[in-house]
C-alpha cells in the first residue's frame, strides 16, 4: 500500500508518519510538506521499519496527478491551523486551506485515490448538551475563520462524493493533544502542559473553566486513521473522532496530579465559543473503533518530555 500524507511534518503528521509502518505494515509513506513552519526535526530519526519518501512542495501549486500515480490513499493534513489565531488572517486561511483541499480532492477524483479528509469538532457552535454528526444547520456555527473554512471544505468533498464519485470520508477530530516531533502549543491541553512544565501559572479564560470540549489524543488519532484505511470508510459520511469530552477543570486537575504546586490564573479574554457541549463519537465507534488513550497517561508523557525533573 502506498500512502500520501500532506502536511506530513506538522503536529499530527509528524506522529502519524512514524506510526503508519506499524499500524499498516508494509506501507510506503510519501510525505509532502511545504516547510512553511521549518519543522526539519519532524524528519529526524524516522523508524527503520518504514519506507519513506519526502517531497518539499506546496500542494496548492504542485502536479498532484503525478504525485498520486500508484497511490492508494491520501491523508490530507496540510492546512494553516490555530483556530484562535485565524481571526487576524481569515482571508489567508480561506485561500490556503480551501484551495488545498479542493485541489487534492479533485486530483483524487481524477485518479481514483481514496481520501481521508480531516475536519474539526470546532465546526459545532451549539446550545445542545450533546451534539452528533446529524445535528441541525443551526448547530453548525463555526466559531473561527479556521472552522468556517473546514465546514466549507466538508461540503465540497461531499459534493464531489455525490456528483463525481470521489471516495472520501470526513473526520471531525477533537482538539489534539499529545507528543509528536512537530507538536505545537497553541491548543488548550498542550499549552497547559507547557506552562506547568515551565513553572508558570496556567492561564484560563474565566468563563471557560467548567465548559466541556472534545479532545483527541495523538495516538488515538493515528489509530483512527489506520482504522479508516483498513475498513475502507470512504463513503462520504461525516464522523466525529475523539478520546474524551472534558472540562478545563478536569484537565487542570489531571495536570496538578503531576505538578502539585500548579497555579491557575484566570484571565479575561475573547473566547471563541461561550457554550459548553459534548460531542458524540458513537457513529465512529460503531465501525469497531475504540479510543484507548488515558488523559492522565498522555499528560504524564508530555510533562516528562518537557520537564525531565518530573520523571
Residue listed under C-alpha cell 511545504: 34
Rounded to an integer, what distance in angstroms lies between the CA atom of residue 157 and that of residue 119? 11
Rounded to an integer, what distance in angstroms lies between the CA atom of residue 10 and that of residue 33? 8
What pLDDT shows up at residue 87?
Answer: 44
Which set of grid coordinates corresponds to residue 106? 479533485
Which set of grid coordinates corresponds to residue 214? 472534545
Top-confidence residue, 138 or 32: 32
What pLDDT shows up at residue 299?
Answer: 96
Please, which pLDDT band fits residue 144 given cuts at 50, 70 and 90? confident
Strands (E), 148-248: 168-173, 175-177, 202-205, 212-217, 235-241, 244-247
Is the domain spanning 2-176+217-242 CATH 3.30.420.10? The answer is no
Burial of 80 per CB tally in 10 Å (0-12, 13-18, 19+): buried
Rounded to an integer, what distance in angstroms lies between the CA atom of residue 251 and that of residue 139? 25
pLDDT digits (tens, 9 = 90+) for 191-243: 999 999 999 999 888 778 888 889 999 999 999 999 999 999 999 999 999 99
Rounded to an integer, what distance in angstroms lies between the CA atom of residue 78 and that of residue 182? 13
Overall residue count recorded for the chain in this entry: 311
> Residues 280-290: what's their mean pLDDT?
98
For the cut 90, the answer to whether the pLDDT of residue 91 exceeds it is: no
For the cut 60, the answer to whether the pLDDT of residue 272 exceeds it is: no
For the cut 90, the answer to whether the pLDDT of residue 286 exceeds it is: yes
What pLDDT shows up at residue 81?
Answer: 60
What pLDDT shows up at residue 271?
Answer: 47
Top-confidence residue, 206 or 170: 170
What is the domain partition of the chain in residue ranges? 2-176+217-242, 178-213+245-279+292-310
What pLDDT shows up at residue 71?
Answer: 98
Alpha-carbon separation of residue 96 from 183, 201, 211, 234 (angstroms)? 21, 35, 31, 24
Residues 202 and 252: beta-carbon distance below 8 Å: yes
Please, which pLDDT band fits residue 141 given cuts at 50, 70 and 90? confident
Query: 242: Cβ–Cβ under 8 A, 6 or more apart, which residues?
Result: 121, 173, 174, 214, 215, 216, 220, 279, 281, 291
For the cut 80, the answer to whether the pLDDT of residue 25 exceeds it is: yes
Strands (E), the chain: 2-6, 28-33, 51-56, 73-76, 114-120, 130-131, 168-173, 175-177, 202-205, 212-217, 235-241, 244-247, 264-267, 278-279
Torsion, CA 169, CA 172, CA 177, CA 181, rounded to 10? 40
Shortest CA distance to 27 belongs to which of 75, 63, 78? Answer: 75
What pLDDT shows up at residue 269?
Answer: 59
Top-confidence residue, 184 or 67: 67
Query: 91: Cβ–Cβ under 8 A, 6 or more apart, which residues?
Result: none
Pairing of strands 175-177, 212-217: parallel
Residues 153 and 98: beta-carbon distance below 8 Å: yes
Please, which pLDDT band fits residue 309 given cuts at 50, 70 and 90? low
What pLDDT shows up at residue 129?
Answer: 79
Top-confidence residue, 182 or 72: 72
Average pLDDT of the chain, as a whole number: 90
In the Cβ-directed half-sphere of 299, how many Cα atoms lie within 13 Å?
22
pLDDT digits (tens, 9 = 90+) for 103-138: 999 999 999 999 999 999 988 876 677 899 998 877
For the cut 60, the answer to whether the pLDDT of residue 274 exceeds it is: no
Top-confidence residue, 127 or 271: 127
- Phi/psi for 71 (5° steps) reads -90, 145
Query: 258: Cβ–Cβ under 8 A, 6 or more apart, which residues?
Result: 196, 299, 300, 303, 310
Is the domain spanning 178-213+245-279+292-310 CATH 1.25.40.10? The answer is no
Amino acid at each position: 500500500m502506498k500512502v500520501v500524507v500532506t502536511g506530513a511534518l506538522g503536529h499530527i503528521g509528524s506522529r502519524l508518519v512514524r506510526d503508519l509502518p506499524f499500524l499498516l505494515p508494509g506501507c510506503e509513506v510519501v510525505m509532502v510538506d511545504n516547510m512553511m513552519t521549518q519543522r526539519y526535526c519532524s524528519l529526524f530519526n524516522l523508524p527503520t521499519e518504514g519506507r519513506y519518501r519526502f517531497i518539499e512542495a506546496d500542494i496548492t501549486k504542485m502536479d498532484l496527478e503525478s504525485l498520486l500515480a500508484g497511490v492508494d490513499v491520501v491523508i490530507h493534513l496540510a492546512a494553516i491551523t490555530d483556530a484562535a489565531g485565524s481571526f487576524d488572517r481569515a482571508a489567508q486561511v480561506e485561500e490556503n486551506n480551501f484551495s488545498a483541499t479542493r485541489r487534492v480532492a479533485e486530483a483524487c477524483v481524477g485518479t481514483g485515490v481514496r481520501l481521508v479528509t480531516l475536519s474539526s469538532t470546532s465546526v459545532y457552535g451549539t446550545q445542545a448538551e450533546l451534539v452528533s454528526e446529524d445535528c441541525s444547520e443551526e448547530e453548525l456555527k463555526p466559531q473561527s475563520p479556521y472552522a468556517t473554512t473546514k465546514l466549507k471544505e466538508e461540503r465540497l468533498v461531499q459534493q464531489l462524493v455525490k456528483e463525481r464519485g470521489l471516495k472520501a470520508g470526513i473526520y471531525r477530530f477533537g482538539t489534539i493533544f499529545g507528543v509528536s516531533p512537530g507538536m505545537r502549543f497553541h491548543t488548550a491541553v498542550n499549552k497547559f502542559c507547557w506552562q506547568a512544565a515551565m513553572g508558570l501559572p496556567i492561564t484560563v479564560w474565566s468563563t471557560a473553566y467548567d465548559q466541556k470540549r472534545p479532545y483527541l489524543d495523538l495516538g488515538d488519532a493515528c489509530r483512527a486513521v489506520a482504522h479508516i484505511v483498513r475498513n475502507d470508510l470512504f463513503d462520504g459520511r461525516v464522523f466525529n473522532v475523539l478520546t474524551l469530552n472534558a472540562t478545563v477543570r478536569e484537565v487542570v486537575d489531571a495536570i496538578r496530579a503531576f505538578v502539585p504546586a500548579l497555579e491557575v490564573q484566570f484571565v479575561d479574554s475573547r473566547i471563541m465559543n461561550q457554550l459548553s457541549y459534548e460531542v458524540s463519537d458513537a457513529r465512529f465507534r460503531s465501525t469497531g473503533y475504540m479510543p484507548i488513550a488515558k488523559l492522565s497517561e498522555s499528560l504524564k508523557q508530555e510533562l516528562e518530555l518537557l520537564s525531565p525533573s518530573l520523571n
